[in-house]
């Protein structure tokens, strides 16, 4: 006897297991993506340029430089930069300090210019640009 077309047949156990397997694989793929996806790198600060710059009136330094610092990361943050003077020189930010800390967060892909004055020490007559190291300011 053949089944009547209006009667519903019960699902086959194999079909149910196959659907559950597909659902599990899809869920596994979604979870793997969520766990293994790359996260935003957070704030990353890079010194993109150190250029000679005229000194402001009254600074008294023989040379000044403009340092461009960029947040190349994916999140805003405050920055802390430290000057490392070249041998035979002294270097200070225009504030008179060797360390600069931003008062506000620097947005991603934003450049900030920092001015540095450089002087020579006794026995040296050559001005060389300093090194600048910048990183996210600790909270």
Give the residue numbers spanning the domain of 15: 11-40
Calpha distance 96→57 (Å, rounded): 15
The answer to whether position 72 is within a domain reads yes
User: What is the per-residue pLDDT for 2?
Assistant: 61
Q: What is the pLDDT of residues 1-31, one digit of tens each?
A: 565 555 567 778 888 888 888 888 888 777 7
**Cβ count near 15 (within 10 Å):** 9
Instruction: Provide, rounded to the nearest whole percent, the portion of the chain with pLDDT above 70.
Output: 89
Provide the domain count of the chain. Answer: 2
Q: What is the pLDDT of residues 51-87, one digit of tens each?
A: 999 988 887 778 999 999 999 999 999 999 999 999 9
pTM value surpassing 0.85: no
We report the CATH number of the domain holding residue 125 as 2.60.40
The answer on 16 and 76 residing in a single domain is no
């Amino acid at each position: 006897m053949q089944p009547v077309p209006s009667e519903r047949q019960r699902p086959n156990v194999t079909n149910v297991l196959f659907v559950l397997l597909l659902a599990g694989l899809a869920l596994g793929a979604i979870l793997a993506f969520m766990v293994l996806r790359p996260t935003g790198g957070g704030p990353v600060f890079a010194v993109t340029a150190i250029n000679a710059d005229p000194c402001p009136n009254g600074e008294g330094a023989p040379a000044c430089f403009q340092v461009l610092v960029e947040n190349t990361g994916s999140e805003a943050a405050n920055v802390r930069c430290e000057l490392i003077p070249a041998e035979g020189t002294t270097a200070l930010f225009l504030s008179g300090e060797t360390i600069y800390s931003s008062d506000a967060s620097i947005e991603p892909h934003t450049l900030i210019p920092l001015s540095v004055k450089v002087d020579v020490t006794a026995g040296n007559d050559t001005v060389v640009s300093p090194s600048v190291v910048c990183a996210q300011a600790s909270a």
